[in-house]
């Protein structure tokens, strides 16, 4: 397996291959498994279960006599973006120990979280706070996005993360040979 040259003493380094991040296991589990699986679920529904997706998003405006082709195309494109989201997060964060890359990816996703939350405004403001009225898609579009954004804000604030200038991976305890 190829490994990039290691740069030490205050510089971050990248490696190709599996590495154990020196971030909280909660972050690793959420960003590498839970969130990508959730995004794949969204991709599945927006591609293969389009009527259900539309009904759950806003039943009263969902088409009842078939989904227009333009809407089918948009939902397929949305599915593709969910897939991109899942792959970017699950794969990029797995192949690097560079904390700068982790932060850049998670910052981009935080910006996307804000846009995603803004996108549901048309269903009405209660969708942001009326937890008892949420259906499955509201839990995904709002509740889970709140959780993801909170995790990213926490990570970007440095809670449970190596200090700047350190690798995301744990350094081995091997002794240097002279």
Domain annotation covers residue 78:
yes
What does DSSP assign to residue 142? Answer: I
Angle at 112 between CA 106 and CA 12, to 5 degrees: 20
Q: Which pTM does this prediction carry? A: 0.78
The pLDDT value recorded for residue 24 is 86
Domain annotation covers residue 139:
yes
Domain annotation covers residue 128:
yes
The pLDDT value recorded for residue 151 is 98
Residue 164 CB partners (closer than 8 Å, separation 6+): 99
* Token representation of residue 19: 């590495």
**How many domains are contained in the chain?**
1
Domain annotation covers residue 108:
yes
The pLDDT value recorded for residue 163 is 61
* Token representation of residue 144: 């889970």
The pLDDT value recorded for residue 10 is 36
What does DSSP assign to residue 154? Answer: H
Q: What is the pLDDT along the chain (178 residues), one digit of tens a residue?
A: 444 434 333 333 444 444 444 788 899 999 999 999 999 999 999 999 999 999 999 999 999 999 999 999 999 999 999 999 999 999 999 998 788 999 999 999 999 999 999 999 999 999 999 999 999 999 999 999 999 999 999 999 999 886 644 554 444 444 444 5
Angle at 162 between CA 158 and CA 168, to 5 degrees: 120
The pLDDT value recorded for residue 22 is 74
Domain annotation covers residue 73:
yes
Domain annotation covers residue 13:
no
**Residue 80 domain boundaries:** 25-156
């Amino acid at each position: 397996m190829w490994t990039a040259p290691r740069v030490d003493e205050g510089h971050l380094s990248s490696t190709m291959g599996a590495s154990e991040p020196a971030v909280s296991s909660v972050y690793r589990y959420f960003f590498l498994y839970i969130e990508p699986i959730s995004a794949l679920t969204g991709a599945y529904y927006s591609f293969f279960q389009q009527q259900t997706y539309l009904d759950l998003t806003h039943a009263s405006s969902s088409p009842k006599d078939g989904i227009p082709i333009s809407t089918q195309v948009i939902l397929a494109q949305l599915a593709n973006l969910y897939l991109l989201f899942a792959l970017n997060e699950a794969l990029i964060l797995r192949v690097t120990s560079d904390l700068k890359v982790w932060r850049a990816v998670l910052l981009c996703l935080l910006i996307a979280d804000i846009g995603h939350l803004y996108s549901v405004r048309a269903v009405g403001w209660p969708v942001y706070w009326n937890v008892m009225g949420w259906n499955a898609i509201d839990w995904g579009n709002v509740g889970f996005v709140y959780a993801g954004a909170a995790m990213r804000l926490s990570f970007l604030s440095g809670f449970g993360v190596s200090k700047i200038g350190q690798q995301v991976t744990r350094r081995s305890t091997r002794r240097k040979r002279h």
